[in-house]
Structure 1
Amino acid sequence: MPRITGTDAITTTLGESVRAFVPYPLPPADPPLAATSFSDLNRQAELALARLAGVAGLVPSVDWLLYSAIRKEALLTSQIEGTQATLIDLFDEEAGLKIGNADDVEEVTNYLLAFRWVQSQLRDPLGLPISVRLLCEAHRRLLDGARGASKQPGELRRSQNWIGGTRPGNAAFVPPPPQHVPDLLADLERFIHEAAPELPPLVRVALIHAQFETIHPFLDGNGRIGRLLIAALLEHWGLLQEPLMYLSGYLKQHQSEYYRRLAQIRGDGDWEGWISFFLEGVTKAAVEAERSIIEVASLITADRKRLLESPKVGSVGYRLFESLPMMPRFTVAHVRRRLETTFPTASAAVRLLEELGILAELTGQKKNRVYSYQAYVDLLSR
């Protein structure tokens, strides 16, 4: 017998009567989770996260690791929802360069703002804990001024939504009616802060993400907030102290299976299949992040050595080089402001790094030239 994970509620929306799904509270029951089916996967995922944290501790600056990792997660989680922005668009926007798809980039930068705000709250002894209020405030920042600004930013939905299809009657999934949402989220919050949890933390993260997506508490942005919640829980439970893993890359690569596994929880009660998929994703994403850190660190170490061997290198040239991982595309004016130096000094430092093959000029113009730490950008964009 398949596990029953919720009940149907008849609701009327847009003039038609439909069945909306109301999930049971966590943890899964009748039967309880078959923990032996994913215990090895959980151990592998925990080890992969521990190795990732260890590798990060070997590099000179965790800041430039975080700069790229957080942006990749912001970009990939937004791309799952159809945003077309690229990593280069994001770098160009931060450098003050002209971009063609400003709305898409705004969605990604809003995610970055929401993510940083959540992280600051969790690290502040007086900040908000992981809670409905925290998620609502993150949602407000996510949709601020972006395309979803008319979708009640920061507020739980007051109307019926649906996923897939042109109307509720032909939707792939109809989440619970709005009057159920506050109680469902309260149950989820209680599960997060359970005093003596029996399940391993990563398994609980998997359960919480799926439950949040099933509740679908907002009119827009549920996927991005649900994936932001994953990163917040990883830090909250000490699984990964810094957000160096971009799990959304794995979820985007396996997007059809991601949605299918969530649907099988609701239809067949297959929590075990979803948890196994999630744990495999954590392992692969952590291994990928570890590989990326090693490659980026190797590139920067080799380029730094080349720079220091140059008889022309001065303090400004060295400071410019050390800024590149967090300023991969720029103009000379940008360098002048960043390093608080004169235009001729900034220009000379840029020219030296270009001569050494570390920087590439992109425009071919004599004025308003744009430079890129291209090998680094190519590594991150892969």
Structure 2
Amino acid sequence: MEKYQPPYTITNQMLSYVASISEKIGRITLISNMEKKPHLRKNNRIKSIHSSLRIEDNSLTLNQVRDVINGKIVLGEQREIQEVKNAYCAYGKIAEINPYSIRDLKKYHGIMTKYLEEQSGDFRRGEEGVFHGDECIFMAPPAQYVPQLMEELFAWMKEVAREIHPLILSSIFHYEFVFIHPFSDGNGRMARLWHTTILYRWKPIFEYIPIESQIEKFQDDYYEAIAKCHVAGESTLFIEFMLAQVDKILDEITVQVDEDNEQLTEYIKKLLGVMEYDVPYTSNTLMEKLGLKSREGFRKNYLRPALDLQMIEMTIPDKPNSRNQRYRKV
């Protein structure tokens, strides 16, 4: 039996992107300690979830997604709200996922589609097509072949994991996964989650880089690249497309980190330093902890800048001047 080998060609363009991405990751890692920037980590995680679901026609806004994640009441379709909850749970486990395990793939598909799909956590048993809007891009392989195709794909990944650069390997997997279309629903969400997970194994900072938001910006190009690869019978064009998107999003992250470093004043650092996560504080309590007497100075130098940067949040955002207002570190 011939050994499974996904068809693709390594191009000079790919190698150029790999070099550029590696350099940018090195710079971001040097100037940014994400462990000390929980607000950036959380905001980027929310962007990832919002964009990945948006690609699948979830209509919730970024702020609504943030509210769902923060446990607030959101007016919207229950299915869409559940999709957010499921995705947040799945993305929160990236560090625990073994991207080379089919068992983990099924497990996290079960998490991603919990309460939403009858075949949650199981490969599809019916025939499926890949659609962009009302247009059928292609018909997926027959359901009877899915288990074998997935076994071959994962066996190939394990075999070449040390030979093929993770940036290229993750893109190949992404395309092959979409082509096989192993689940009845949630394939796009799982492909993007797994892409990020493979990159996380290479550089942990990818856990907080919202590649999905970049894909959403070029969603038509994303589907076009997939369609062209189906016609060509290989994933070369899709690999180049994905590498280009990773390269672009890193430019945004670099700017984000630079701005954060500039905006994170000593006042804000002191405020964050006296606050525990998820503990609500009154203005008076925070002023007391900081040893401040001037309420106006506290609001101008500490409170307002931290709220603007979304490093803290109000417990009653609809009534900013409420006597019961509290502030939480996020």
What are the Cα deviations for residues 166-195 of structure 1, in whole angstroms up to 9, with x where unaligned?
99xx73311111111011111110121115
TM-score normalised over the length of structure 2: 0.80
User: Do structure 1's residue 293 and structure 2's residue 272 form an aligned pair?
Assistant: no
Distance 1:37-1:300 versus aligned 2 partners, 3 A rule? closer
What are the Cα deviations for residues 28-61 of structure 1, in whole angstroms up to 9, with x where unaligned?
1xxx61433422122112222222332323x670
The one-letter code matched in structure 2 to 1:224 is R
| Contact preservation (8 Å) 1:46, 1:239 | no
- The equivalent residue for 1:363 is 319
The one-letter code matched in structure 2 to 1:319 is V
- Which of 217, 232, 240 is the aligned partner of 1:268? 232
The one-letter code matched in structure 1 to 2:208 is L
| Contact preservation (8 Å) 1:33, 1:272 | yes
> SS of the residue aligned with 2:58?
coil
- Give ranges in structure 2 of 5+ residues lacking alignment: 290-294, 309-316
Partners in 2 of 1:346 and 1:90 — Cα distance?
A: 29
- The equivalent residue for 1:234 is 199
Q: How many Å apart are 1:107 and its aligned residue? A: 1.3
- Which of 64, 80, 102 is the aligned partner of 1:132? 102
- The equivalent residue for 1:17 is none
- The equivalent residue for 2:112 is 142
Q: How many Å apart are 1:227 and its aligned residue? A: 0.3
- The equivalent residue for 2:50 is 75
- Which of 204, 220, 228 is the aligned partner of 1:256? 220
User: Do structure 1's residue 157 and structure 2's residue 124 form an aligned pair?
Assistant: yes
The one-letter code matched in structure 1 to 2:175 is A
Question: Pairwise mapping of residues 34-183 of structure 1 onto structure 2 (< 5 A)?
Answer: 34-57=10-33, 61-101=36-76, 103=78, 104-122=80-98, 130-145=100-115, 149-164=116-131, 171-183=136-148
| Contact preservation (8 Å) 2:181, 2:187 | yes
Partners in 2 of 1:239 and 1:102 — Cα distance?
A: 36
> SS of the residue aligned with 2:130?
coil
| Contact preservation (8 Å) 1:52, 1:290 | yes
Q: How many Å apart are 1:79 and its aligned residue? A: 1.0
Stretch of structure 1 that moved more, 76-85 or 212-221: 76-85
TM-score normalised over the length of structure 1: 0.70
User: Do structure 1's residue 217 and structure 2's residue 182 form an aligned pair?
Assistant: yes
- The equivalent residue for 2:280 is 335
| Contact preservation (8 Å) 1:118, 1:138 | no
Q: How many Å apart are 1:275 and its aligned residue? A: 1.6
- Give ranges in structure 1 of 5+ residues lacking alignment: 1-23, 123-128, 328-333, 337-341, 377-382
Identity of aligned residues (%): 23
Partners in 1 of 2:167 and 2:328 — Cα distance?
A: 38
Provide the alpha-carbon RMSD of the alignment: 3.4
| Contact preservation (8 Å) 2:94, 2:207 | no
Partners in 1 of 2:143 and 2:104 — Cα distance?
A: 19
| Contact preservation (8 Å) 1:49, 1:283 | no
Partners in 1 of 2:214 and 2:87 — Cα distance?
A: 18
Partners in 2 of 1:343 and 1:370 — Cα distance?
A: 7
Partners in 1 of 2:131 and 2:42 — Cα distance?
A: 34
Q: How many Å apart are 1:199 and its aligned residue? A: 3.2
Distance 1:268-1:242 versus aligned 2 partners, 3 A rule? closer
Partners in 2 of 1:72 and 1:84 — Cα distance?
A: 14
Partners in 1 of 2:84 and 2:235 — Cα distance?
A: 31
Partners in 2 of 1:233 and 1:56 — Cα distance?
A: 22
User: Do structure 1's residue 26 and structure 2's residue 5 form an aligned pair?
Assistant: yes
Partners in 2 of 1:239 and 1:165 — Cα distance?
A: 32
Partners in 2 of 1:273 and 1:159 — Cα distance?
A: 29
The one-letter code matched in structure 2 to 1:132 is I
Larger Rg: 1
> SS of the residue aligned with 2:5?
coil
| Contact preservation (8 Å) 2:280, 2:326 | no
Partners in 2 of 1:268 and 1:118 — Cα distance?
A: 33
Q: How many Å apart are 1:100 and its aligned residue? A: 1.3
Q: How many Å apart are 1:242 and its aligned residue? A: 4.8
